Amino acid sequence: MNTIIEALESGKLIAWEKFDGDMWFDALFYHYSHQYALEPCNVHNGWEKLEGLQWRLLLEHYPELLEKCCWEKLEAEDWGSLLQAVPKAASYCDQYNGWEKMDGAILATVIQLQPQLISHCDFSKFSVNDWKEFLASLPQYVDRCDFKKFSVKDWIEFFSALPSPDVPYNWEHFQHRCAEGGAQMLSASYANLCDKWDEFQSMNWAILLRSQPQFADRCDKWDQMQPLDWAQLIRYQPQFADRCDKWDQFDGDCWQQVLIYQPQFGNRCKDWSWLETLEGYDWEYVVEKQLAFLPKCDQYNGWSKFSSYHWKIFLKKYPCFWDRYEKFASVKLSPEELAYIQEKTPEEAENS
């Protein structure tokens, strides 16, 4: 709104009375014209011309204008966003029935960010999905939830969304928010509230235990897990490897899932013939992700399947393996690909 500043500085009159809502919003929202527009907005009743979204954006930046707001214009989404940014607007939300407009998802988001507003929350509006996200953030309100509405799928998603000891920051944050007894005790408490354990299938367990291994003592379907389920579980939770009774049924996909991330189980693989079926992009992927595959790539001549693109990507990351290219490559790198490999990254250039 530079034209307002220019007009004022040059002594020109501004036709405030002709401003529509968008023009008032622009004048009020931007810092360089905000101070000049306040009084004319009072005089020409510009406040009435603003819509709900404009009020929300304006108040988030200038909460001192709360008393000017035409609150009846705010919709549920406007109330939710405003309360997250300006919690003192809650008193106006009481007065103008803003809480009634918001559904459970919006309420849950508001309370997660501004838990001091919990007394305004109508938990009866919460859906199962709302509860799943809400309790992962604010577990101290577990007693407000009716878990009988949860299906097996809901329970899996709920448990899987809980912070895990495998992610220290989230786990410590979660513990801090838990009631006395800590996160481990609360996790056990949630487990006791679940009335669907006997309905969990082997696939459900494989999914859940990847992120929440603390529930392993509840699992009664170990022998029913399929090879790929086992492979994906061991990839994330290698401590369960000794429970697996399907090692001899693993195919190439299963072994890739495990060995790229847990190469210590290579001695479990008795038949490596699946490597013969790998294409160039497979070899480039597994070797780039896990250098323990280098001897196997030599043995099964995987290098010969590399395209020039695969060599370019691999040698950019591991330039120390030029000898493999010179010895095994069945293609030649173009001048452009060579230049790409040799080009220094910003970090390398800075350290050179």
Please say if the pLDDT value at position 11 is more than 80. no
Please say if the pLDDT value at position 104 is more than 60. yes
Question: By mean pLDDT, which of 98-102, 126-130, 243-247 is the weakest?
Answer: 126-130
Q: What is the pLDDT of residue 152?
A: 93
- Rounded mean pLDDT of the chain? 88
Is-contact 7 36, C-beta < 8 A?
Answer: no
Per residue in 213-236, pLDDT (tens digit) is 989 999 999 999 999 999 999 999
Q: What is the pLDDT of residue 130?
A: 92
If you average pLDDT over residues 162-189, what whole number do you get?
52
Q: What is the pLDDT of residue 185?
A: 47
Please say if the pLDDT value at position 65 is more than 60. yes
Please say if the pLDDT value at position 177 is more than 60. no
> Would you list the domain boundaries of the chain?
126-224, 232-271, 275-352
If you average pLDDT over residues 283-297, what whole number do you get?
95
If you average pLDDT over residues 252-261, what whole number do you get?
96
| CB neighbours of residue 225 within 10 Å | 24
Please say if the pLDDT value at position 5 is more than 90. no
Please say if the pLDDT value at position 302 is more than 80. yes
Q: What is the pLDDT of residue 352?
A: 61
If you average pLDDT over residues 322-348, what whole number do you get?
90
**Residue 174 main-chain phi, psi, to 5 deg:** -65, -45
| CB neighbours of residue 324 within 10 Å | 20
Please say if the pLDDT value at position 102 is more than 70. yes
Q: What is the pLDDT of residue 165?
A: 54
Is-contact 73 95, C-beta < 8 A?
Answer: no
Please say if the pLDDT value at position 173 is more than 50. no
Question: By mean pLDDT, which of 57-71, 92-106, 141-155, 325-339 is the weakest?
Answer: 141-155
Enter the pTM of the model.
0.70
If you average pLDDT over residues 8-30, what whole number do you get?
83
Q: What is the pLDDT of residue 170?
A: 47
Q: What is the pLDDT of residue 31?
A: 67
What would the 3-class secondary structure string for the chain be?
CHHHHHHHHHCCCCCHHHCCHHHHHHHHHCHHHHHHHHHHHHHCCHHHHCCHHHHHHHHHHCHHHHHHCCHHHCCHHHHHHHHHHCHHHHHHHHHCCHHHHCCHHHHHHHHHHCHHHHHHCCHHHCCHHHHHHHHHHCHHHHHHCCHHHCCHHHHHHHHHHCCCCCCHHHHHHHHHHCCCCHHHHHHHHHHHHCCCHHHCCHHHHHHHHHHCHHHHHHCCCHHHCCHHHHHHHHHHCHHHHHHCCCHHHCCHHHHHHHHCCCHHHHHHCCCCHHHHHCCHHHHHHHHHHCHHHHHHHHHCCHHHHCCHHHHHHHHHHCHHHHHHHHHHCCCCCCHHHHHHHHCCCHHHHHHC
Pairwise pLDDT comparison (23 vs 35), residue with the higher score: 23
Q: What is the pLDDT of residue 179?
A: 46
The dihedral region occupied by 11, where left means phi > 0, alpha psi between -120 and 50, and beta the remainder, is left
Q: What is the pLDDT of residue 319?
A: 93
Query: CA-CA distance, 220 to 182, in Å (whole number)?
Result: 27
Q: What is the pLDDT of residue 229?
A: 96
Please say if the pLDDT value at position 166 is more than 70. no
Query: CA-CA distance, 221 to 207, in Å (whole number)?
Result: 12
